[in-house]
Chain A
Amino acid sequence: MSDPTPNTEGRYAGSRIRRVEDARLLTGHGTYVDDVVLPGMLHAAFVRSPFARAAVRDIETSAALEAPGIHFVLTAADLNPGVHEQWHTSIGPKMPETPRPPLAEGEVRFVGDPVALVVADSRYLAEDGAELVEVDYEPLPAVVDYTGAEQADTLVHESHGSNLITGFANMPASALDEVFDSAACVASETIHQQAVAPLPIEARGIVVDYARSTGELTIYASTQTPHEVRLFCSRLLGMPEHHIRVVARDTGGGFGQKVMVQRDEMVLMLAATKVGAPLKWIEDRRENLIAAGKSRHEHADVKMAFDADGAIQAAYIDFVQDCGAYPTPWPISAAASVGMLWPGPYRVPRAGFSVKTVYTNTVGRSAYRGPWQFESLSREVLLDIAARQMEIDPVELRRRNLLRRGELPYANANGMTYDNVSPLETFEQALEMLDYDAFRAEQAEARRNGRYLGVGMGNFVEPSTPGQGYYGTEAATIRIEPSGRVNVYIAGGSSGNSIETTVVQLAADALGAKLDDVHTTQGDTAITGFGAGTAGSRSASMTAGAVRETATALRTRIAAIAAHQLEAAPDDIELVDSRASVRGKPDAFVSFKELANIAYFNTRKLPPGVPAGLEASARYSAAVQTIWVNATHICTCEVDPTTGRVQILRYIVSEDCGPMINPSVVEGQIAGGTVQGIGGVLFEHLAYDDDGNPITTTLMDYLLPTSTEVPKIEFGHIETPSDGPGGYKGVGEGGAIGAPPAVVNSVADALSPFGVTLTRLPLTPARIATLLHEQRNR
């Protein structure tokens, strides 16, 4: 496997090509942000609030400044006036944003809120200095429980006038009363999801190097979006964009946390212009767990009405989400998506939603893989509750309601129109892979022996590759160098998602080049065109578009030069294996090397009108507004009713992401997301105590899934091409969306003989054991 040879169709796309990233990463020669060392570089550490909410009366810095190796102690008074504008391109300047002071100004709003920045010769000394900064805090009442935030007298942001950030509904729940009142069956429940952290193994970090003499500023960043870091920084500092260069070579995971520029990074940008030396900040794990952002943490009252045959008549979700003190970005888009996507891949004739987002004195919400995934969690969990209520098999209930191909495109009742999806097909494929009937027989047998097995499933349809505004275009430059080797320059923003390999595969195919002849340069704003980076499961489709547009222009020129050389018609020129040959005459060819030699050094041999050099740049504009993806997850498990321990037995994903550019990359993305979803159900919890103190501040307290807990994942693929380039679809986020409901439903199914309903995550052994204990004593 994975040899760099094209598949039987003569293409690299579709093959399990070995990753081009791996040689450096496997040998310890990657370049992550903490590996960047610049001459004279200084190191920064933050002083962070120990209180959920307090007034900052005074900051005493003199003791710290006298300590060895300390250069500066910077506070809000030093840095915050340097802010020119602060807004992200995807949000725009006109949204009613959360006020985001780089350093806390007058009031701290969560434990971990940055109050001062200590700059020293080393990180050790900076941390020593941070210990010596004396902040006079006056603790104030805090809003910790988000479910009471809207009614609380205490305000997280006085200037906002309310803890309700935004709230809107496409209709009140009462608008559907008539349907619900006359339905044969109504299932309703309140479903809660706890706070979790994206938790890349490399925490955040940034090096900022400002050269006063030239006015140029270079940033080395751990980011999913190098170009946005540059644009944001240019606005923040009021500095011309072309004076700023952002370089992101290797980024150690992001999962959404590294999409936006947060306050800590703003502080470093501002500070670097003052300290007169390159400045590095590398976040430690404790900071990452208290200050880098939380995700999920939400609940909803959900209800569905069914007719006597189990056909869904109506669905309503009343959703509330905790956004902490400083959500980044402005949270309304992901919250609205929860409502709009709630009907899922089902035939739901009437639907409505209400969504609310609230401030609390906890760490701000940040993006995390499938930011809207609560819609799938709550819908699929409710469907299983409804199936038990109606005494219909959960498979049968879903089969009756899943959309058929013939119904597409399908406009769901909340305003989303799906197309090119195959929800019934992935569902049936996954069931077949499991052998559902055999599992039910095994389950019955196990129950007779006092063992509790369960099966759970989750179907979803997700929007990938947003096609508008900031996300709507992607550029590529392809240069066939004078030696005939190919270099592809593309914005990138990889944080593990193999975009280098993807681009090399796509470009080799698009140009007819040998894979080994193609290299790609990404993550450097000085030499790549603007691109919105890794977000929204957009990289596959958008880079495919950018490579296609650019390669098409270049192919035309290659064909013209080769045709001139071979005395053939340009239309008869074929490009294969890094050479141009005449169709039907395999001996008549000219290699890319010879073509490049002509194009650069022997330009009199060029046909009339063909410019010198072999280089093209083009920008792809998204062909469609949204590329829809669907999948089915099925999980089986055994639950020990005494200890509450859940052991996953089998895990199956059938996904329709269209044709696969590299099946290993696709399955790797699905697996990673799936295990994050499993972690979110069974282990992970970014917890606070009642006073707003974070209590999971190490990886001993915040539990990630380990190798002993995850199942072997079985993959099935259905291939329905999208309308985008190559028919490709985005596959980065789906695993994290499909897994939570499948795992919850499998545990609930295992425990169905006990009559408990699972509506609150995480499903830790303690929670399950307690629920069963309470049920027995009822």
Chain B
Amino acid sequence: MGRNDGVGGAIPVELAINGKTRRATVEPRVTLADFLRDECRLTGTHLGCEHGVCGACTVLVDGAAVRACLVFAVQVDGTEVTTIEGIASPDGELSVVQAAFRDCHGLQCGFCTPGFIVSVTAFLRDCPNPSDEQIREALSGNLCRCTGYQGIFDAVRQAADTMQRGEA
């Protein structure tokens, strides 16, 4: 038995995860985060609070950054989901954002990192030329306890500059 056993009937869902179609049946109460982690074995989506504050579980649903702990798997039926595992290129080359985090010491324990990478990826797509103030605002929905955010500020700036120079 998995997490979708127990109370309530299972509901079929079909969605694209990191470009691959996935069909499954899930119990209505199973969150998207648990579905990704337990059913799809995509364990890069992390749970730091399970009440939508820390941002570690951020994924893209049809391009929008959402907290996978606050969404039920059945709600994403028919959508395209991108998780941290889908951010680097298929051959493993880091994205501009991921490379910038590495260059700028933007991570330490790495637990919050997938959420930051996904949030920043969406942010820089929507706001390619951000001010420092906008960067701080954009990051404020993700909590990091290791870095004091210093390397993360630098990483987002570097990633934005790299993208601006068309090196992405």
- A interface with B by C-beta (< 8 Å): 1-2, 16, 18-19, 21-23, 25-30, 32, 34-35, 37, 68-69, 121-125, 128, 199-203, 250-253, 255, 284-285, 495-498, 664-665, 667-668, 671-676, 698-700, 704-708, 710, 712-713, 735
* Top-8 shortest CB links A-B: A28-B44, A252-B111, A496-B109, A25-B110, A675-B148, A28-B84, A671-B148, A496-B108
Q: Are A35 and B6 in contact (CB under 8 A)?
A: no
Determine the distance from Cα of A128 to Cα of B137 in the docked complex, in whole angstroms. Answer: 38
Shortest CB–CB separation between residue A126 and chain B, in angstroms?
A: 10
Determine the distance from Cα of A736 to Cα of B52 in the docked complex, in whole angstroms. Answer: 27
In the complex, which residues of chain A have a beta carbon less than 8 angstroms from the beta carbon of B83? 28
Q: Are A671 and B6 in contact (CB under 8 A)?
A: no
Other contacts beyond A26-B98, A124-B6: 10, CB < 8 A = A26-B102, A28-B83, A29-B85, A34-B47, A124-B30, A199-B145, A252-B110, A676-B148, A708-B137, A708-B140
Among B72-80, B149-157, B160-168, the stretch that binds chain A is B149-157
Chain B's interface size range is 35 or more
Q: Are A672 and B145 in contact (CB under 8 A)?
A: yes
- B interface with A by C-beta (< 8 Å): 1-3, 5-7, 27, 29-30, 34, 37, 41-51, 53-54, 56, 83-85, 87-88, 92, 94, 98, 101-103, 105, 107-114, 117, 135-137, 139-140, 142-153
Determine the distance from Cα of A121 to Cα of B45 in the docked complex, in whole angstroms. Answer: 22
Determine the distance from Cα of A125 to Cα of B34 in the docked complex, in whole angstroms. Answer: 13
In the complex, which residues of chain A have a beta carbon less than 8 angstroms from the beta carbon of B105? 16, 19, 664-665, 667-668
Closest to A24 in B: B110
**Contact partner of B43 among A34, A69, A253, A668, CB < 8 A?**
A34
In the complex, which residues of chain A have a beta carbon less than 8 angstroms from the beta carbon of B140? 706-708
Q: Are A27 and B87 in contact (CB under 8 A)?
A: yes
Closest to A18 in B: B102
In the complex, which residues of chain A have a beta carbon less than 8 angstroms from the beta carbon of B149? 671, 675, 706-707, 710
Known pairs A29-B44, A68-B7, A200-B109; A668 contacts B85 (CB<8 A): no
Known pairs A664-B105, A707-B136; A201 contacts B51 (CB<8 A): no
Q: Are B147 and A672 in contact (CB under 8 A)?
A: yes
Q: Are A201 and B50 in contact (CB under 8 A)?
A: no
Interchain residue pairs with CB less than 8 A apart (21): A2-B102, A23-B94, A25-B107, A26-B98, A26-B101, A27-B44, A32-B43, A68-B6, A199-B145, A250-B109, A253-B146, A496-B109, A496-B110, A667-B105, A672-B148, A698-B49, A706-B140, A707-B149, A707-B152, A710-B150, A712-B153
Q: Are B6 and A285 in contact (CB under 8 A)?
A: no
In the complex, which residues of chain B have a beta carbon less than 8 angstroms from the beta carbon of A712? 150, 153
In the complex, which residues of chain B have a beta carbon less than 8 angstroms from the beta carbon of A675? 148-149
Shortest CB–CB separation between residue B6 and chain A, in angstroms?
A: 5
Q: Are A284 and B111 in contact (CB under 8 A)?
A: no
Q: Are B148 and A713 in contact (CB under 8 A)?
A: yes
Q: Are B113 and A704 in contact (CB under 8 A)?
A: no
Q: Are A201 and B6 in contact (CB under 8 A)?
A: no
Q: Are B6 and A69 in contact (CB under 8 A)?
A: yes
In the complex, which residues of chain B have a beta carbon less than 8 angstroms from the beta carbon of A706? 139-140, 143, 149
Determine the distance from Cα of A688 to Cα of B40 in the docked complex, in whole angstroms. Answer: 40
In the complex, which residues of chain A have a beta carbon less than 8 angstroms from the beta carbon of B114? 28
Determine the distance from Cα of A713 to Cα of B154 in the docked complex, in whole angstroms. Answer: 12
Q: Are B139 and A201 in contact (CB under 8 A)?
A: no
